[in-house]
Amino acid sequence: MRLIKHALVTGIIFFSISTYTQQKQTTMTKEVIVMTFLRGFDQPSKIMESFDLLADSYHFTSPTDENNSKVEFQATAKELAKVLTGVEIKKLAVSGNWVAVNYVFKSSIKGLEKTSGTEWFRVNNGKIQESHLNYDASEWRKVFAKMKE
């Protein structure tokens, strides 16, 4: 009888540890969610993983664009993928549901190979709900105008 109780207690402990470990592995912090999202722009093979982290109602703003849904943003990102060559994260800070990231986005466009930007991400329930990108867009506006022609 004592052996059965010991086996049962041991089984419960292992089951509890296993469940806790699995929950821990599937729960990403806000920082990891944002870094994983940005990795898709640095490694094109991971872009679908990035899009999976966006809420369907994702709202994006920048000096040159505004998207009001995940679908709209994906169309914009597809166009940007033609010229973006990577993202280098410099600094990251978290406050509540907000993650601020200072990064350099790189492009294949002569004269715009490196552009520094800061983006604020609001993360809730494991999804990016909105983000606001700030950067000097004076030369980028010309590029985007040509893309629309």
Asked, for residue 124, whether it belongs to a domain, the answer is: yes
> Which domain does 72 fall in, by range?
29-148
User: Does the structure show a pLDDT above 90 at 133?
Assistant: yes
Residue 92: per-residue pLDDT: 97
Give the confidence band of 4 by pLDDT, cuts at 50, 70, 90.
low
Give the confidence band of 19 by pLDDT, cuts at 50, 70, 90.
very low
d(CA 50, CA 106): 18
d(CA 26, CA 11): 23
User: Does the structure show a pLDDT above 60 at 23?
Assistant: no
- DSSP state, 82? T
Q: 108-141 b/e with 16+ CB inside 10 Å = b?
A: eeeeeeebebebbbbbeeebbebbbbebebeebe
Asked, for residue 100, whether it belongs to a domain, the answer is: yes
- DSSP state, 43? S
Task: Quick: pLDDT tens for 78-121.
Answer: 888 888 899 999 999 999 999 999 999 999 999 999 999 999 99
Query: What CATH number is attached to the domain comprising 116?
Result: 3.10.450.50
